[in-house]
């Protein structure tokens, strides 16, 4: 059989960012201000610093205002809650994102609960998780929303397809399963206690791997022709003579390529979608905040 098609998340994300940029300009023209995203980083986790920098740059490139708040690692919960309250009240701020993970002294759930759900562009607030659970409009976490966009773009109607989501995190696995259910797929959530995982995965027309274990899903777990979405971004130990190891997903890519119908590469698959969807969510928050109807087709 022919090699799997590559799902080009990078190109899809670029096109989405371009659309968001056009609408952001139209919004600024109508509303007299740019859509604004506040990004809060507590501490100096190197990966988080990279993500937060990338989010700020992407905002600027899409014609949005970015407000970065970098706080010391020993910030108290009271100080962070007071910043969030200020951002909740700030008319220039449409979206608020608190980069996770937070340092140990801070209660993540309490911090997220303090964000105004209408500014919760990450979709992490329990109000938004609840809206998703009951099928109401709300903010949906960026990574799974990006995955469902790629799947619908590739497959069209997902009705009746067997989907297996590996991983049950609040940020990816659970919302992913809900989005697939909403799209009329038959959904299984697999996780670390699942028995016979290879057999379960072999049923799937759609596999979404979101476990954070390098190359765990092997090629012979994949049903021929299945669509594989690899959410994992894992850095392998460096090879001799190299400073940094290779980035790999949760799927053994070369093996899966021989069996799948289509697959997202790592890097360049799901990764670029997350920030593009964050910008989209921020734009939608801005329209709602300004009392204007959101554009269709985002
Ligand atoms: N940490 C890892 N991914 C994310 C994300 O999508 N949003 C936030 N706020 N923190 C993260």
- pLDDT tens by residue, 126-185: 999 999 999 999 999 999 999 999 999 999 999 999 999 999 999 999 999 999 999 999
* pTM > 0.95: yes or no: yes
**Ligand 1 atom 3: the closest Cα is on which residue?**
100
The residue whose CB lies within 8 Å of the most ligand 1 atoms, and thus the one to mutate among 45, 50, 51, is: 51
pLDDT of residue 297: 84
Q: Is 61 within 8 Å of 55 (Cβ atoms)?
A: no
Does 11 map to a domain? no
Domain match, 243 and 190 both:
yes
The pLDDT of residue 1 is above 80:
no
pLDDT in tens, 185-242: 999 999 999 999 999 999 999 999 999 999 999 999 999 999 999 999 999 999 999 9
39 lines ligand 1 (CB under 6 A): no
Domain hosting 77: range is 31-117
Domain assignment present for residue 288? The answer is: no
263 and 147 in a common domain: yes
User: Same structural domain for residues 41 and 111?
Assistant: yes
108 and 198 in a single domain? The answer is no
Ligand 1 atom having least distance to the Cα of 98:
9
**Over pLDDT 70: what percentage of the chain?**
100
- How far does the centroid of ligand 1 lie from the alpha carbon of residue 36, in Å? 18
Residue 64: CATH number of its domain: 3.40.50.10860
Report whether 30 contacts 283 (CB < 8 A). Answer: no
Question: What is the whole-number distance in angstroms between the Cα of residue 241 and the centre of ligand 1?
Answer: 32
CB of 291 closer than 8 Å to CB of 277: no
Q: Which tens digit of pLDDT belongs to each residue from 20-73?
A: 999 999 999 999 999 999 999 999 999 999 999 999 999 999 999 999 999 999
Copy the structure tokens of residue 57.
């740059």
The total number of structural domains that make up the chain: 2
Q: Please state, in angstroms and rounded to a whole number, the distance separating the CA atoms of residues 254 and 185.
A: 27
99 lines ligand 1 (CB under 6 A): yes
Domain of residue 265, CATH code: 3.40.50.720
User: How is residue 190 written in tokens?
Assistant: 């697999």
Give the model's confidence band at 3: pLDDT under 50 very low, under 70 low, under 90 confident, else very high: very high
Task: State the closest ligand 1 atom to the C-alpha of 48, by its place in the atom list counted from 1.
Answer: 1
130, part of any domain: no
Neighbours of 132 (CB within 10 A): 22
């Amino acid at each position: 059989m022919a090699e799997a098609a590559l799902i080009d998340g990078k190109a899809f994300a670029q096109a989405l960012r371009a659309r968001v940029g056009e609408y952001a300009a139209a919004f600024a023209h109508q509303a007299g201000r740019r859509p604004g995203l506040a990004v809060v980083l507590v501490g100096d986790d190197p990966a988080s610093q990279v993500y937060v920098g990338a989010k700020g740059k992407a905002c600027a490139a899409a014609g949005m205002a970015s407000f970065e708040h970098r706080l010391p690692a020993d910030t108290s919960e009271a100080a962070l809650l007071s910043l969030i309250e200020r951002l909740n009240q700030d008319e220039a701020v449409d979206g608020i994102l608190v980069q996770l993970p937070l340092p140990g002294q801070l209660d993540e759930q309490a911090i997220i609960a303090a964000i105004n759900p209408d500014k919760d562009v990450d979709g992490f607030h329990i109000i938004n998780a609840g809206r998703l659970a009951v099928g109401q409009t709300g903010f949906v976490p960026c990574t799974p929303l990006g995955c469902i966009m790629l799947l619908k773009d590739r497959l069209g109607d997902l009705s009746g397809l067997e989907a297996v989501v590996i991983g049950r995190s609040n940020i990816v696995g659970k919302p992913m399963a809900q989005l697939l259910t909403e799209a009329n797929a038959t959904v299984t959530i697999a996780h670390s206690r699942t028995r016979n995982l290879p057999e379960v995965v072999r049923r799937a027309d759609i596999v979404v791997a979101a476990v954070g274990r390098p190359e765990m899903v092997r090629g012979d777990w994949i049903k021929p022709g299945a669509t594989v979405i690899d959410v994992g971004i894992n850095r392998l130990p460096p090879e001799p003579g190299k400073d940094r190891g290779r980035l790999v997903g949760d799927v053994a890519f070369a093996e899966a390529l021989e069996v799948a119908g289509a697959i997202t590469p790592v890097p360049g698959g799901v990764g670029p979608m997350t920030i593009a969807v964050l910008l989209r969510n921020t734009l939608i928050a801005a329209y709602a905040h300004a009392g204007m109807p959101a554009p269709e087709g985002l």
